[in-house]
């Protein structure tokens, strides 16, 4: 059985998950990983609306519902 990859998953498959990492969040937002890491992840608006669910872990994870809600905001891009 092949391991699940957020990079290869469709947006619909990502929306079925409960949490996603940086790759899944950037896929949902439609931006490159570099752009997500440099401009979105540490922005005040993103940190307020999409809290990191594993703050002490090496790889941050976010709730899919929070990322989808953030995507619907009209002034983040």
| Displacement of CA 59 from its chain's centroid (Å) | 12
Q: Are 62 and 52 in contact (CB under 8 A)?
A: yes
pLDDT at 44 over 80: yes
Cα separation, 41 vs 62, whole angstroms? 11
pTM of the predicted protein model = 0.85
| pLDDT confidence of residue 76 | 62
What average pLDDT does the chain have?
89
| pLDDT confidence of residue 39 | 93
R_g over Cα of the chain: 12
| pLDDT confidence of residue 49 | 92
| Confidence at 77, pLDDT banded by 50, 70, 90 | low
């Amino acid at each position: 059985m092949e391991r699940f990859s957020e990079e290869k998953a469709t947006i619909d498959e990502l929306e079925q998950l409960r949490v996603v990492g940086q790759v899944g969040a950037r896929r949902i937002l439609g931006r490159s990983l570099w752009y997500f890491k440099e401009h979105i992840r540490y922005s005040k608006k993103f940190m307020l609306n999409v809290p990191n669910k594993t703050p002490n872990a090496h790889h941050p994870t976010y709730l899919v519902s929070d990322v989808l809600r953030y995507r619907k905001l009209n002034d983040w891009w």
